[in-house]
Structure 1
Amino acid sequence: MPRKPVARDAVLDAYEALLIDVGERGATLDAVAKQAGVSKGGLLYHFPNKEALIAALLERMDTLAAKDVAEMKAAPEGPAAFFIKSSLWANSPLDRVFVAAARLVEVAHEETRRRFAGIQQQWLDLLAEEVGPEMARAVRYMGDGLYFNAMLEGGAAGGESKADERSADVAALLAAVERLRN
C-alpha cells in the first residue's frame, strides 16, 4: 500500500526548513528525517537520495513561480505594479522555497541556478511587454531590492514602523513605475 502524500510533503517541508535555517550542509538526510518526524527509511521511501529531495524542491519552486507569473500576467494593475507589490517578504510558500533554493545556489548547484534564471526571464519578459526591455530590468531590480531589504529587516516581522517604511517605499516605487509607463 503506497504511503500517504502527506508524509512526502512533510519530508519536503522539513528539507526546505532546514535549508533555510541551517543551509545545505546541515540539511542531511538524517536531519531531514528527524525534522519531518519520520524514520530514515520513511524518508528514503519517498526520496532515495539528496538529489531527489533537491529535484522535488525545484519542482515545488517551478510550480509556485508559474502561479506567480500567471497572477502577474492577469493583474489588473499590470505586471510591473504587481511585481513591486509582491516583492515584500510575506513568508509565503514562494518566499520560503526561494530562500531554500538560494541556499543551494550558495553551494553552486547548477540546476538550481538554471531554474532561478528561467523564472527571472519569465518575469523580465512580462515586464518588458509593459515597460520595454531596458526598464523591465530596472523594475526587477526595484523588486529585488525591496525583497532583499525586507529579508534583512527580519522578513514580515519588522514591526509597525518598518511596515510603514515599506509601504512608503512601495508607493514611491509604484509612482516610478507609472512614470516608466508614460
Structure 2
Amino acid sequence: MARPPHARDKVLRAFVELLLEGERGATLDAVAARAGVSKGGLLYHFPSRDALADAVLERFLEVTASDLEAMRTAPEGAARHFVRTSWQVDHELDPIYRATLRLAQAGHQDALAAIDDLHRSWLDQLVTEVGDPAVARTIMLIGDGLYHQTSMPGSWSRETFADALPDLLAQVDRLTESLP
C-alpha cells in the first residue's frame, strides 16, 4: 500500500495549485486549508510565503534540468523533441512552469530569472543543433505556439490541433534539412 504524501509535499502541491488559480489567492491560510494541514504544520515546513516560493523555484529547477537533459540527449534531436513535447501539458513540467510563471508575473525576481534562463537554455540547445539562430527561433515559436494552443481552456484547440503534430514535425524537418 502506498504511503500518503508527506505534509511538506502536500503543502507545496497545494501552493502550486493555488498559484495556478491566481497568485493573490495563494495565501498561507489558503495553502494550509488546501493541503489539509494546520497553519502551524505549514509554518513548520515553510516559515513564510517566500519560503514556499523558494521551494517552487527549487522544484522548477529540478524539473527543468531533467527536461533540458532529455532534450539534449533525445535520439530524435533537440528540435523534434522540443516541438513534440510542447504538446504535453500533462507532463510534470507544465504545472510547475505555470506556477513559476505566476510568481514571475507577480514580480518575483528569482522566478523571472529562472523562466528567462529556461527559455534561453531551450533556445541555446536548438541553436546548437541547427546552427542557425533564426531557424532555432522559428522552431521555438512552433513549440511555444503548440503549447499555447493545447493549454487553452475548452476543446477547440485540442480538436483543431490533435492531428497537427506530425505536420509540425515535418516542418521542423524541412527547416533543418535546408541548412548547410
* TM-score under structure 2 length normalisation: 0.89
Aligned to 1:12: 12
Deviation at 1:105, TM superposition (A): 2.0
Runs of 4+ in 1 over 6 A off after TM superposition: none
Question: Residue 120 of structure 2 aligns to which amino acid in structure 1?
Answer: Q
1:45-78 superposed Cα distances (whole Å, 9 cap, x missing partner): 1111011000000111110011011111111110
CA RMSD of superposed structures (Å): 1.8
Aligned to 1:136: 136
Aligned to 1:179: 174
Aligned to 2:85: 86
Question: Residue 61 of structure 1 aligns to which amino acid in structure 2?
Answer: F
Separation (CA, whole Å) in 1 of partners of 2:125 and 2:88: 21
- Count of paired positions: 173
Aligned to 1:34: 33
The answer to whether the 8 A contact 2:78-2:129 is kept is yes
- Provide structure 2 residue ranges, at least 5 long, that are not aligned to the other structure: none
1:14-43 superposed Cα distances (whole Å, 9 cap, x missing partner): 00001112x111000000001011110110
Aligned to 1:162: 158
The answer to whether the 8 A contact 2:89-2:150 is kept is no
Deviation at 1:141, TM superposition (A): 0.9
The answer to whether the 8 A contact 1:89-1:151 is kept is no
Report SS of the residue matched to 1:86: helix
Report SS of the residue matched to 1:55: helix
Separation (CA, whole Å) in 1 of partners of 2:16 and 2:90: 13
Aligned to 1:61: 60
The answer to whether the 8 A contact 1:15-1:53 is kept is yes
Report SS of the residue matched to 1:42: helix
Deviation at 1:169, TM superposition (A): 2.1
Quick one: percent identity of the two aligned structures?
Answer: 45
